[in-house]
Amino acid sequence: MNTIFITGASSGIGRATAKHFAERGWNVVATMRSPEQETEFITLDNVLVLRLDVEQEGTIQTALAEAIERFGTIDVLLNNAGYGTMGLIEAATDEQIRRQFEVNVFGLIRMTKAMLPHFRSNQKGMLINISSMGGKVTFPTMSLYHSSKFAVEGFSESVSYELASQNIKVKLIEPGAIHTDFGGRSMEFFFDDALTDYKLFTAAFRAKLGDMEKQPAYASPPEMVAETIYQAATDGTSQFRYIVGDDAKMLIQMKENTDEEEYLTNIAQHFS
């Protein structure tokens, strides 16, 4: 039986993916920061719930050791844990800036490094990283989130060469807007009204975006991402990128097929 190890399995995409794989007979290591709050997964025989915070190396090592002890071999690592930030860069504190990268980038790299010796000793493995359409295209006021996901894209692409030499595949998932807690509890905002020079810009942006704490009505369900992750894990191909959602497909295509200056002007005009 195959085993997938998931970070951020408490909600949203991570949770839907844990369910999807468990329902298809996989062993699932559902890691989360607060496992004591989990009520559903602990009732399933093929799901092991463990505490893991990607910011804390000790929790990664402990969870990995417990997972290997229980299931023997881990076949797929899904680096999913992450959160968003939105606001003016001048209003972001040094701590907020560092934390965005600490979780979305350094946490993902830390988790990957911890898993690789196990994959190497098995002479196989698969690393699936959750990027975003925001790893390819950008929107105003999300500079930190975008730069963290652009980093995930660059890291994944480059590391795939050395890992191929060890029979370890790397895949990237690029979801568009997905109905999860991402726009709510997983989004940190920093708009500072004292920065009055940005007043017009911020007002126009907010008016365009509407309720910033809600995902847009066209957002896709997390199960759609879970299905794509399952496909990536099982299709036996060396496809590297998987885009999820019509919004993501449309925007990424638009960027690729439009003159850059024209494309950037279009995005700026859309939000002004």
- Can you tell me whether residue 26 is helix, strand or coil? coil
29 binds ligand NAP (CB under 6 A): no
Distance separating the N- and C-terminal Cα atoms of the chain: 52
Interacting residue with ligand NAP among 35, 82, 125, 140 (CB under 6 A): 82
Nearer to ligand NAP, 102 or 122 (CB): 102
| Per rule CB under 6 A, count of chain residues that contact ligand NAP | 29
Q: Is 169 a catalytic residue?
A: no
State yes or no: residue 252 binds ligand NAP (CB under 6 A): no
C-alpha closest to that of 5 among 58, 69, 56: 69
Instruction: Please identify, using beta-carbon distances, which residue of 61 and 166 lies nearer to ligand NAP.
Output: 61
**Interface pick for ligand NAP out of 4, 22, 32, 47 (rule CB under 6 A):** 32
**One symbol per residue from 87 to 106: x for binding ligand NAP (CB under 6 A), - otherwise; what is it?**
----------------x---
**CA-only gyration radius of the chain, Å:** 19
Tell me which H or E stretch contains 77. strand 76-79
Q: How far apart are CA 255 and CA 247, in angstroms?
A: 12
Which residue is nearest to ligand NAP, using beta carbons? 12
User: Using CB under 6 A, which of 2, 55, 91, 96 touches ligand NAP?
Assistant: 55
Q: Is 178 in the site for ligand NAP (CB under 6 A)?
A: yes
CA nearest 145: which of 179, 112, 190? 190
Under DSSP, is residue 100 helix (H, G, I), strand (E, B) or coil?
helix
49/88 Cα distance (integer angstroms): 37
φ/ψ of residue 198, rounded to 5: -95, 5
Distance CA 239, CA 237 (A): 5
180 lies in the binding site for ligand NAP (CB under 6 A): yes
Q: How far apart are CB 167 and ligand NAP at their closest, in Å?
A: 26
Per the annotation, the verdict on 131 as an active-site residue is yes
Q: How far is the CB of 108 from ligand NAP (least distance, A)?
A: 8
Nearest distance from C-beta of residue 114 to ligand NAP, angstroms: 13
CA–CA separation, 92 and 89 (whole Å): 5
Which among 173-181, 201-209, 226-234, 260-268 is the span making contact with ligand NAP, rule CB under 6 A? 173-181
CA dist., res. 255 & res. 262, Å (int): 9
Q: Are 242 and 228 in contact (CB under 8 A)?
A: yes
Q: Is 145 among the residues known to form the active site?
A: yes
From 19, 136, 143, 145, the catalytic residue:
145
**What are the start-end ranges of the E strands in 226-270?**
241-244
Catalytic residues: 131, 145, 149
The residues that touch ligand NAP, with contacts defined as CB under 6 A, are 7-8, 10-14, 32-34, 53-55, 80-83, 103, 107, 130, 132, 175, 177-178, 180-182, 186, 215
